[in-house]
Chains A and B, each alone.
Chain A
Amino acid sequence: MKNNLKLAWRNLWRNRRRTLIAMSSVIFSVILASWMRSMQEGSYESMINNTVKYYSGYLQVQDTAYWDERTLENSMEVSPELKQQIEQIKKVTLVSHRLESFALAANQQQSKPAMVLGIEPKAEDQITAISKKIKYGAFIEANDNGVVLGQGLADFLNLSVGDTLVMIGQGYHGISANGLFPVKGIMEHPNQEFNKRLVYMEIENAREFYSAYNLSTALVIMTDDHYKVDKLKTDIKKMLPPGKEVLTWIEMQPELEQIIRSDRMGGFIMLGILYLVIAFGIFSVVMMMTKERQREFGVIHAVGMKKRKMSVVVVIETLFIGLIGCTVGLVISYLFCLWFYHNPIPLTGETANVTAQYGMEPYMFFSLTPSLFYNQMILVFLISIFIAIFPVYTIYRLKIIRALRA
């Protein structure tokens, strides 16, 4: 094998310039493919973050009736033991209660329907990092009776930190819910819709307001590995008493999943075209290397080298081109994407506005998920193996006499 490797390596460099061009085409393609995929997945992660991290979480435990009819009547009581059990599952990073409902938010002159989110401030901040979005004032704390408003809502109601927000709504079992709440902070929520409607309130305060004592509309669950949500769902499902269900973010946001899936397919088509170009690039070099060595193949077969062994050498040559190109391409593309991961490309003009309207941050984000990079390497490796069929086929069809005359 050592001799085969040596022979293949030397054969590779008999036309240095051509080999370097072939390797460069692989390197460039891996960089381009990785960069494309990193940008694509980065934007999906950003979309998921916007919906999952700023709102739904990766999983939610709810009353079985809640998802179809999201009212306080379908809220639930969660035992501390259940919460603790879920917290102990591997890959679960956080579990937090939420009480979500609606109310009419008002000042002295005008009112607007608002989405009220009763939260555990510390846990919620770990999920959404919302305290960092506070523009004026401060974020709420445990047992706080203040509220945090989205800036759009605050502007509409002309409220500032320290002012009083009036809220009127319907509580649990139709009980009237009215209250005055000091504005503790005003946030600039990245999701424009939330920015115009959201009111954060400490959960006990919300339960008091809605007379929904000990109740939650959802138990929000976070994980550090969103590819494992289905497995987590199965694990959590086993722990739930009757009347409760667990939903993944995909079930809660099916449109988002569909958008990502269709966009990803589009990306794969582009990637397919790119790989076709790579394949033809490598193939042309391998074809030249094979054709120009017909006589040599004839000679080495004549003197006793078996076709199988000759095939091994040419396959190694092809793999060398693919593997060296892939490895160098992988290192460069990772460094390239690492830089963009830490320095996302800001969007400007109309694109930035449209992105913001969809509740996303106006940046082009990049992903560093390892599979995005090593998958390109595996693919090019497989392409190389596929291309190696050509010289192997040529060798197996070799007629010594014809080859010696070549």
Chain B
Amino acid sequence: MKIIEIKNLKKTYEDNSIAVHAVNGVDLSIGEGEFTAIVGPSGSGKTTLMNIIGGLDEATEGSVIIDGINTLELSTRKLTDFRMYNIGFVFQAYNLIPVLTAKENVEFIMQLQGIKKAQREERATELLRAVGLGELMDRKPSKLSGGQQQRVAVARALASKPKFVLADEPTANLDSKSTENLLGIMEQLNEEEKITFIFSTHDQRVVKKARRVITLEDGKIISDKRKNSNNTD
């Protein structure tokens, strides 16, 4: 079942009066439960594509249909709500709220959704245990390592039970052990709970784990490989 359908997506901006096509006519479908990596050299447009899918950036042309809704046509207010209920984000620099504990960071989105305290706490505890931080949930981000912070970010991304998680270079700031650990957790969540993960990455360790690898260059998809079937869509 497709959860994201992108058609003829274009993003053009001007840099010193020169038109730059960051995304140049991308057509792409992502199904439920996929574990997809978007790769490509710097400037290939993968982050821009991720941002448009996540409703963080606007497109110049085309459509992004998520769950039957073209997100590019939503108002800013509706788009904010849409992101909250449908998309989980994991950022390169973790971006946790520094004044909140790990558990409160995970609870944050559920608070915005108006979920009751008892329910929030139960789910936050469950998610933090799932990412191996059951013992550290009362610590603030400054008292956690980079890897631990990124695991909190994953738990936060899953808190609202999103349709998919967008992870922009999630391992870029992590050492090998933390990367291995984090990828293992995400892979497990994908396999056991069928959570869809979409990564943009340079990291070959992520690419190795991904079951689908989409390569971008100059804003265009130049290859789209599924590891189990080795075919191109």
B98 at the interface (CB under 8 A from A): yes
Interface centre among A3, A14, A400, A404, by most B CB within 10 Å? Answer: A404
Q: Per-position contact with B for A305-330: 1 when CB-CB < 8 Å, else 0?
A: 11101000000000000000000000
Kindly provide the distance from the CB of B46 to the nearest chain A CB, expressed in whole angstroms: 14
Distance between Cα atoms of A341 and B160 in the complex (Å):
61
B95 at the interface (CB under 8 A from A): yes
Residue of A nearest to B140 (CB): A10
| Contact assessment for A299 and B95 in the assembled complex, using a CB-CB cutoff below 8 Å | yes
Residue of A nearest to B99 (CB): A10
Distance between Cα atoms of A14 and B100 in the complex (Å):
10
B83's partner among A11, A295, A296, A303 (CB-CB below 8 A) is A303
Q: Known contacts A301-B80, A304-B84, A305-B112; decide if A400 and B57 are in contact (CB<8 Å).
A: yes
| Contact assessment for B89 and A302 in the assembled complex, using a CB-CB cutoff below 8 Å | yes
| Contact assessment for B112 and A304 in the assembled complex, using a CB-CB cutoff below 8 Å | yes
Kindly provide the distance from the CB of B191 to the nearest chain A CB, expressed in whole angstroms: 25
| Contact assessment for B84 and A303 in the assembled complex, using a CB-CB cutoff below 8 Å | yes
Q: Please, which residues of chain A bring their CB within 8 A of the CB of B97?
A: 7, 296, 299-300
| Contact assessment for A401 and B54 in the assembled complex, using a CB-CB cutoff below 8 Å | no
Residue of B nearest to A304 (CB): B84
Distance between Cα atoms of A303 and B98 in the complex (Å):
15
Q: Per-position contact with A for B75-118: 1 when CB-CB < 8 Å, else 0?
A: 00100110111000101010101111000000011011100000
Interface centre among A13, A296, A303, A400, by most B CB within 10 Å? Answer: A303
B156 at the interface (CB under 8 A from A): yes
B172 at the interface (CB under 8 A from A): no
Q: Known contacts A11-B99, A299-B91; decide if A400 and B56 are in contact (CB<8 Å).
A: yes
Residue of B nearest to A295 (CB): B95
| Contact assessment for B51 and A304 in the assembled complex, using a CB-CB cutoff below 8 Å | no
Q: Please, which residues of chain B bring their CB within 8 A of the CB of A296?
A: 95, 97-98
Which residues of chain B from 140 to 171 have a CB within 8 Å of any chain A CB?
156, 160
Distance between Cα atoms of A10 and B104 in the complex (Å):
12
Q: Please, which residues of chain A bring their CB within 8 A of the CB of B112?
A: 303-305, 309
Q: Known contacts A7-B99, A303-B84, A303-B109; decide if A401 and B56 are in contact (CB<8 Å).
A: yes
Q: How many B residues, CB 8 Å from partner?
A: 25
Distance between Cα atoms of A404 and B100 in the complex (Å):
19
Q: Per-position contact with B for A215-254: 1 when CB-CB < 8 Å, else 0?
A: 0000000000000000000000000000000000000000
How many A residues are at the interface, by size bracket?
20 to 34
| Contact assessment for B98 and A14 in the assembled complex, using a CB-CB cutoff below 8 Å | yes
Q: Please, which residues of chain B bring their CB within 8 A of the CB of A10?
A: 99-100
Distance between Cα atoms of A283 and B112 in the complex (Å):
29
Q: Please, which residues of chain A bring their CB within 8 A of the CB of B56?
A: 302, 400-401, 404
Distance between Cα atoms of A404 and B166 in the complex (Å):
15
Which residues of chain A from 251 to 299 have a CB within 8 Å of any chain B CB?
295-296, 299
Q: Please, which residues of chain B bring their CB within 8 A of the CB of A301?
A: 80
Distance between Cα atoms of A298 and B63 in the complex (Å):
24
Q: Per-position contact with A for B48-61: 1 when CB-CB < 8 Å, else 0?
A: 00010010110000
Which residues of chain A from 1 to 46 have a CB within 8 Å of any chain B CB?
3, 7, 10-11, 13-14
Residue of B nearest to A14 (CB): B99
Residue of B nearest to A305 (CB): B112
Residue of B nearest to A10 (CB): B99
Q: Please, which residues of chain A bring their CB within 8 A of the CB of B111?
A: 3
Distance between Cα atoms of A291 and B80 in the complex (Å):
22
Distance between Cα atoms of A3 and B97 in the complex (Å):
14
Q: Please, which residues of chain A bring their CB within 8 A of the CB of B54?
A: 302
Q: Please, which residues of chain A bring their CB within 8 A of the CB of B100?
A: 7, 10
Distance between Cα atoms of A306 and B81 in the complex (Å):
8
Residue of B nearest to A401 (CB): B57
Q: Please, which residues of chain B bring their CB within 8 A of the CB of A404?
A: 56, 91, 95
Q: Please, which residues of chain A bring their CB within 8 A of the CB of B57?
A: 400-401
Q: Known contacts A299-B91, A400-B56, A400-B57; decide if A304 and B99 are in contact (CB<8 Å).
A: no
Distance between Cα atoms of A152 and B77 in the complex (Å):
82
Q: Please, which residues of chain B bring their CB within 8 A of the CB of A304?
A: 80-81, 83-85, 109, 112-113, 160
Interface pairs (9), CB distance under 8 Å:
A299-B91, A304-B83, A304-B109, A304-B113, A305-B80, A306-B81, A400-B57, A401-B57, A404-B91
Closest 9 CB pairs of A and B: A304-B84, A10-B99, A299-B95, A400-B56, A304-B112, A401-B57, A306-B80, A14-B99, A303-B109
Given known contacts A7-B97, A303-B156, what 4 new A-B pairs fall within 8 Å (CB)? A295-B95, A303-B83, A304-B109, A307-B80
